[in-house]
């Protein structure tokens, strides 16, 4: 499936499986909306993030 340029909202993205999915989808070129119920986890999750593929983006 081609998700390049698509916006993907990922719940639980501060850690674990949600964070792994965020890494995977970012590598595929998706624009990410990271969502987590623990506010402390999101800055850590966003810190690693750099646009790994052209056209990718991030919203926390």
Report the pLDDT averaged over residues 22-44: 84
pLDDT value of position 58: 61
Indicate the pTM of the whole model.
0.72
Q: Report how far residue 7's alpha carbon sits from residue 3's, in angstroms, rounded to the nearest whole number.
A: 8
The more confidently predicted of residues 54 and 43 is 43
Q: How confident is the model at residue 32 (pLDDT cuts 50, 70, 90)?
A: confident
DSSP-assigned letters across all residues of 17-45: HHHHHHHHHHHTT-EEEEE-S-TTHHHHH
């Amino acid at each position: 499936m081609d998700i390049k340029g698509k916006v993907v909202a990922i719940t639980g993205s501060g850690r674990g499986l949600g964070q792994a999915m965020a890494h995977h989808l970012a590598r595929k070129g998706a624009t990410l909306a990271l969502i987590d119920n623990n506010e402390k986890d999101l800055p850590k999750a966003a810190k690693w993030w750099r646009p790994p593929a052209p056209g990718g983006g991030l919203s926390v």
